Structure 1
Amino acid sequence: MGKVRNNDNKLYVLDTNVLLHEPFAFLSFQEHQVVIPMTVLEELDHIKDRKKDVSRDARIAIRALDDVLRDASPEEMLAGVDLSGVTKNCTGKLTIVNDHIFEDAVSGLPGDENDHRIINTALHLQQLRVEVKVVLVTKDINMRLKAKGAGLEFVEDYRTDQLIDDISLLTSGYKKLDGDFWAHVKECDSEQNGRDTYHTVPRSLLNEVFINEYLLDETGHFAARVVDYDEEHIKLLDLGFERIMGRSAWGIVPKNVYQAMAINSLLDPNLDLVILTGPAGCGKTLLALACALELVIERGMYDKIIVTRNTPEIAESIGFLPGTEEEKMLPWLAAITDSLEVLHKNDENPISSRNYIMEKANIQFKSINFMRGRSIQNAIVILDESQNLTASQLKTIITRCGEGTKLICSGNLAQIDSNYLTPVTSGLTYIVERFKDFQGSSTVNLNGVVRSRLASFAEENL
């Protein structure tokens, strides 16, 4: 009688793109065995010297593997090196397999492609280790299809870093309530604190809330923000629909309630992180810049504005552009200079006004590559196009923000340029979910294109 498979005992074969996506991914499989084919190491070796962002991730993965396997003998590497001493969350084993010795006939796929060799490894182990569940883990959709077609029973995407299963589940930063909110309230304690009015209502009115989440109802008169809650009560800051719609920043008046909520968050000095999501043309960059100018020049709350963004293939592109770092960044940050011109289009000389404001507000254009190691104090940092950053890259930037610094992250998850990110694995999605219950942050999805009717039609129909 053959061995009976134990599905609780798993063996994971990792594809190269998993380690490029998360260099420490081999530590994410808890008590199970992780297998890395020799082909994966060869691909990492080829990628590490490329002049692209992904080469850094390849080098990190190689160093991480070396740290674990440095003292292991060849016999130990084949049998599996214990990972329990590396991290407390992982008690499994790591094995390097020489997949070049396996016969191509196992999979029936041509043997001259790296993807086929990795699939072949998983199929060979599936036949050899019938007592365990062999799983190929890859972020390549086509490779998953080929593996299934070749006879591999279990193929998975790498989802350890995904906080949500579908982008539709991502919090928008606000809730729209049915009917009249106050018609449902039977008990309420109100208090006045300066110009602000706070209401404490029963928690049973709302199923699930987050700190700094906005609440709107169908009447068009009620608008509030959750400032605190416990198991029994929710404390709301009464914003007033007319009042929030009447607020402006640097001459910009909100065109819809979503922009009004964004301005409210951006101008709040108690919020250290504001995340703006939404389609192209909804006003993310314009609002961020207008509120930054308001806080720096009009209110004098910050000393400078630092603008940065991800620059695709930055290692190749930025080096060949002439001039200083800021001059090299100008083509990438044209959206900022365009927005400055819009804010001053009615001036007698818009270009002179733009240059004057850039100097007065001390607006600095910085490459994201040079943010590492800095400590930014008393500044507003605008991180544009943040949907193209990984969670670790965003962590690097957020941890640069020192005392008195406000970070504004904006991005459109429908416009991801990276081949290694999807809307659910983007760093922007990651920080929206991680910070949604942080007292010092707020998220607003600007639902609605206001750039032009052409842009609005294109967003809805293309």
Structure 2
Amino acid sequence: MNKQKIFVLDTNVLLHDHLCIYNFQDNDVVIPIVVLEELDQFKKGNDLINFQARQFARELDKLAADSMFKDGLPLGDGHGKLFVATGKPYPEEMMESFTEKTPDHRILAIALFIGKKFSKRQTVLITKDVNLRMKAKSLGLQAEDYETDKVKDIGILEHGVTVYDNFDESLIRALYEKNAVPRHDFPLSDGELFANQYFVLKSGSQSVLAHVDSVNQVVARVEKHHAFGIEPRNAEQTFALHALLNPDIKLVSLTGKAGTGKTLLALAAALSLNKQYNEILLARPIVPLSNRDIGFLPGDVKDKIGPYMLPLFDNLSVIKGKFGPQSKENLIIDEMQRTERLVISPLAYIRGRSLSDVFFIVDEAQNLTPHEVKTIITRAGEGTKMVFTGDVHQIDTPYLDMQSNGLAYLTDRMKGQDIFAHVNLVKGERSYLAELASDLL
């Protein structure tokens, strides 16, 4: 029996990762012709999903050969073959349940046809659409999510500050007296600590905030600092500001529920460092509400995107509210906006811009795919710092979840790198009402 599997791909998998066809090892990959039809509808536009569609079209064009419609096109060493399957007639069992010939049902018909034609091989439909997976299983067809870039352990995204109780009092005193102790003198093993990890050490009534300084190979004390009028209200926010202000840390991810101060802290840190960067960019992906495109909103482009950018302007208003209208700080902010050294914009509008000597904050990063996050980071030039913020429990795109979103993927893959730090903010600081609603509703 041929042990190689046959994977039939849905459109949303290609829009999630345009290079996914190379991630199925030596198994064969089938793209239904209806998927190519659907991709045509996504090729025009400035959103990241449109970019994915165009990139896959280019990738397929590089491979273009008549063999992919007949005997299959080899994808290279260690890979199987790529096939494009044309439309197939509806089998009787489908007609009983799914009479309407939608694109999803046409994909199901092709997958069922392939499963019967190659009955000695295992045929699997790969889709990020939960409903389509359920429909496939109702017909006896195996269906799975696209697992390649899923995070296996999301513990780092769910827990707040690590606390070590009953710690050695002499080391706590040494951190206060010397501000740092050599890494090799620290009693915790390498398996427990990693680069730029933040934690609290306690012994009775004594406690100290600390982090692993991988540049100097020490465990250093973390002091409480404020940034442009914003002061940390808890240990997590103190750690977040430390990472944001640390010049040795070039990439930061901040996770946490609404009201924990992720974006506010990032923006305050950027403003306090404004002399060190040519530009501060604050961007977020536009995810239309209720599956309605922004085109339905009245007005010109600025009017349409304005509602999506309001949360970012709200954070800026909070910072400006810490000072008087004619204060030096507010004048700095107004001047930076006037000269476009401080730019708040949809993420798609940032594409193609130079990212050298920039403090770049990407808000709502949980709505990005892993590939989109990679595309953004790989464009960082010299002197640039990137900060990704978001709540992995509030994902607004239909084909991402806690394990497959770009923010979780970034945090999982970068953990332990010398230039990366992650802080998960747990305690809400917006108001008691907001905290209660976040926990109970």
Tell me which residue corresponds to 2:314: 338
Q: Does 1:413 align with 2:392?
A: yes
**Displacement after TM superposition at 1:409 (Å):** 1.5
Q: Given the alignment, which residue of 117, 132, 135 partners 1:143?
A: 132
1:341 shift after superposition: 2.7
Report deviation, 1:50.
Answer: 7.1
Paired amino acid for 1:161 = D
Distance in structure 2 (CA, Å) of the matches to 1:95 and 1:201: 58
Compared with structure 1, are the counterparts of its residues 351 and 411 closer, same or farther at alpha carbon in structure 2 (3 Å cutoff)? farther
Is residue 107–residue 150 contact of structure 1 (8 Å, CA) maintained in 2?
no
**1:333, 1:24 → 2: CA distance?**
31
Which residue in the other structure is 1:78 paired with? 70
Matched-pair contact (CA < 8 Å) for 2:160–2:236: no
Q: Which amino acid aligns with 1:282?
A: T
**Contact 2:263-2:315 within 8 A present in 1 as well:** yes
Q: 1:353 to 1:247 in 2, by over 3 A?
A: closer
2:9 aligned to which of 14, 33, 44: 14
- For residue 207 of structure 2, give the secondary structure of its aligned residue in structure 1: coil
Distance in 1 between residues matched to 2:186 and 2:155, nearest whole Å: 28
CA distance in 1, matches of 2:282, 2:296: 16
**1:450 paired residue number:** 429
Point out the more displaced range, 442-451 or 373-382. 373-382
Query: Retained in 2: the 8 A contact 1:201–1:235?
Result: no
Q: Could you tell me which residue of structure 1 aligns to residue 116 of structure 2?
A: 127
Quote the Cα distance in structure 2 between the aligned partners of 1:176 and 1:107: 59
Match of 1:307 in 2: 282
In structure 2, the partner of 1:94 is: 82
CA distance in 2, matches of 1:273, 1:136: 36
3-state SS of 1:29 partner: coil
Residue number in structure 2 paired with 1:175? 162
The answer for the alignment partner of 2:198 in structure 1 is 214
Residues 311-365 of structure 1, C-alpha deviations (whole Å, 9 max, x = no match): 2359845997548x7x876543333332233224354437996464231583222
Q: For the Cα contact (< 8 Å) 1:226–1:236, is it kept in 2?
A: yes
Aligned mates of 1:336, 1:105 — CA distance in 2: 51
Are 2:240 and 2:254, in contact at CA under 8 Å, matched by a contact in 1?
yes
Tell me, in whole angstroms, the C-alpha distance in 2 between the residues paired with 1:124 and 1:107.
14
CA distance in 2, matches of 1:196, 1:202: 10
- Cα 1:27/1:214, change in 2 over 3 Å: same
Distance 2:144 2:116 in 1: 18
Are 2:217 and 1:238 equivalent residues in the alignment?
Answer: no
Pair 165,196 (structure 1): closer, same or farther in 2 beyond 3 Å: closer
Residue 394 of structure 1, aligned match among 373, 398, 401: 373
1:266-302 Cα deviation digits (max 9, x unpaired) = 1111111121110100011211122122222xxx333
**Identity %, equivalent residues:** 35
Q: Structure 1: how far apart are the matches of 2:279 and 2:38?
A: 43
Give me the whole-angstrom Cα distance separating, in 2, the residues matched to 1:25 and 1:285.
32
**1:434-445 equivalence runs, <5 A:** 434-445=413-424
Report SS of the residue matched to 2:53. helix
Amino acid in the other structure paired with 1:58: A
Letter in 1 for 2:280: I
TM-score (norm 1): 0.82
Please tell me whether residue 44 in structure 1 is matched to residue 44 in structure 2: no
Structure 1 residues 51 and 213, CA, compared in 2 at 3 Å: closer, same or farther?
A: closer
Q: How far 1:382 sits from its partner (Å)? A: 1.8
Counterpart in 1 of 2:27?
32
Query: Paired residues, what number?
Result: 431
* Alignment CA distance shift 1:311-1:72 (3 Å): same
Change in 2 beyond 3 A, CA 1:340/1:170: closer
Q: What is the alpha-carbon distance in structure 2 between the residues aligned to residue 309 and residue 169 of structure 1?
A: 23
SS in 1 for 2:4: strand
Choose between structure 1 and 2 for higher RCO, CA contacts under 8 A separated by at least 6 residues: 2
Evaluate the alpha carbon distance shift between residue 379 and residue 196 of structure 1 in structure 2; reply closer, same or farther with a 3 A threshold. Answer: farther
Shift of 1:136: 1.3
Q: Is 1:384 the equivalent of 2:355?
A: no
Contact 1:344 1:353 in 2 (8 A): yes
**Runs (5+) with no aligned partner, structure 1:** none
Q: Deviations over 1:23-60 (max 9, x none)?
A: 22122111001112222222223443578653433333
- SS of equivalent residue, structure 1 residue 382: strand
TM-aligned CA deviation for residue 102 of structure 1: 5.4
Deviation at 1:423, TM superposition (A): 2.0
